[in-house]
């Protein structure tokens, strides 16, 4: 589903150059993240978080967890979406994120 979301982001002219997707391997080593990337053919950046440092900074949320952050031209950041669990239809989820971000 997340690969489908990535494809929707890349296909949509409103999001292609403005929306970025990353994955965080909570509790995973570089090796584990690399294996996951290879097995599931992940086209977006993945980061290992074997020490749980990123996970702790995000409030130790359970996975999967999706966060949408809007960054204004002046660098201000605003969380526009934060929810645990899946998102259902990738195209509808992207539409929702674009709406929440004002795009």
d(CA 28, CA 48): 5
Residue with tokens 């020490």: 51
- DSSP code of 88? S
CA distances from 62 to 22, 66, 78 (A): 17, 10, 21
Could you tell me if residue 102 is inside a domain?
Answer: no
Strands 46-49 and 23-26: parallel
Q: Give the number of domains in the chain.
A: 1
Q: What is the pTM assigned to this prediction?
A: 0.88
Which residue segment(s) compose the domain that 37 sits in? 2-97
pLDDT digits (tens, 9 = 90+) for 12-58: 999 999 999 999 999 999 999 999 999 999 999 999 999 999 999 99
């Amino acid at each position: 589903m997340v690969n489908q979301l990535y494809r929707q982001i890349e296909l949509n002219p409103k999001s292609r150059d403005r929306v970025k997707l990353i994955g965080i391997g909570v509790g995973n080593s570089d090796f584990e993240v690399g294996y996951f990337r290879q097995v599931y053919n992940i086209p977006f950046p993945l980061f290992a978080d074997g020490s749980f440092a990123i996970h702790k900074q995000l409030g130790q949320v359970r996975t999967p967890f999706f966060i949408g952050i809007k960054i204004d031209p002046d660098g201000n950041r605003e969380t526009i979406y934060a929810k645990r669990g899946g998102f259902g239809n990738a195209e509808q989820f992207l539409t929702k994120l674009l709406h929440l971000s004002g795009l």
